[in-house]
């Protein structure tokens, strides 16, 4: 009887962390969508981040939503389009031999879409069974990366000095 209670406590703790990670990623994607407002091709990028923001918010409030047909279809469509864009951007960055991803607009968008892609893949089918330690650990790592990166660039203005003018409002 004691083991069942302990397992339930671990599951509820993991579920809580899972929900917090989804909420944080929803905020991050919403903020990433918002800062695109001055971008010349803002509509495309705003949608690219707004869709994961909404899907993550839904998952934060009700993790079983990932098993609904609507959530899966929207996520699948976003994953398909994002995968194509990530491949195109990645090839462009490779061809141009870009080494500082965050110094190039294409590199930042590549990184942001890659995070969104990884996040949606991590969320897929998370409503089928209780979230496990591995999924929650991956979620915590993926959640920490963009938030810490954004804070790092926020604190180091010299890193942003060569960005185009429309990117100066990202912070």
How far, in Å, CA of 29 to CA of 33, rounded? 6
* 53 vs 32, higher pLDDT: 53
pLDDT tens-digit readout, 78-101 = 999 999 999 999 998 899 888 777
Residue-range domain boundaries for the chain: 2-170
For 141-150, the CB contacts below 8 A with 24+ separation are 142/21, 142/25, 142/115, 142/118, 143/21, 143/24, 143/25, 143/28, 145/115, 146/28, 146/32, 146/112, 146/115, 147/24, 147/28, 149/102, 150/28
Cβ pair 63, 121 in contact under 8 A: no
Per the confidence metrics, is the pTM higher than 0.85?
no
pLDDT attached to residue 170: 53
Residue whose token pair is 């976003």: 78
Task: Give yes or no for a contact between 25 and 140, defined as CB atoms under 8 angstroms apart.
Answer: no
Q: Are 113 and 51 in contact (CB under 8 A)?
A: no
- The pLDDT score that the predictor gives to residue 22 is 96
Distance CA 64, CA 45 (A): 28
Given a cut of 70, whether residue 63 has pLDDT beyond it is yes
The percentage of the chain sitting over the pLDDT mark of 90, rounded to a whole number, equals 47
- Which of residues 118 and 108 earns the better pLDDT score? 118
């Amino acid at each position: 009887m004691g083991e069942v209670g302990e397992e339930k406590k671990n599951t509820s703790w993991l579920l809580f962390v899972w929900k917090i990670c989804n909420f944080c990623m929803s905020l991050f994607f919403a903020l990433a969508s918002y800062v695109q407002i001055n971008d010349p091709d803002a509509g495309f990028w705003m949608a690219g981040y707004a869709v994961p923001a909404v899907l993550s918010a839904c998952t934060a409030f009700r993790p079983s939503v990932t098993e609904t047909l609507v959530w899966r279809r929207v996520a699948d469509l976003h994953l398909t389009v994002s995968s194509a864009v990530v491949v195109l951007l990645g090839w462009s960055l490779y061809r141009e031999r870009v080494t500082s991803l965050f110094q190039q607009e294409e590199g930042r968008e590549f990184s942001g879409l890659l995070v969104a892609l990884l996040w949606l893949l991590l969320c897929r089918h998370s409503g089928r069974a209780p979230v496990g330690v591995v999924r929650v650990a991956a979620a915590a790592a993926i959640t920490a990366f963009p938030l810490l990166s954004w804070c790092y660039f926020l604190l180091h203005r010299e890193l942003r000095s060569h960005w185009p003018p429309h990117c100066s409002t990202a912070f």
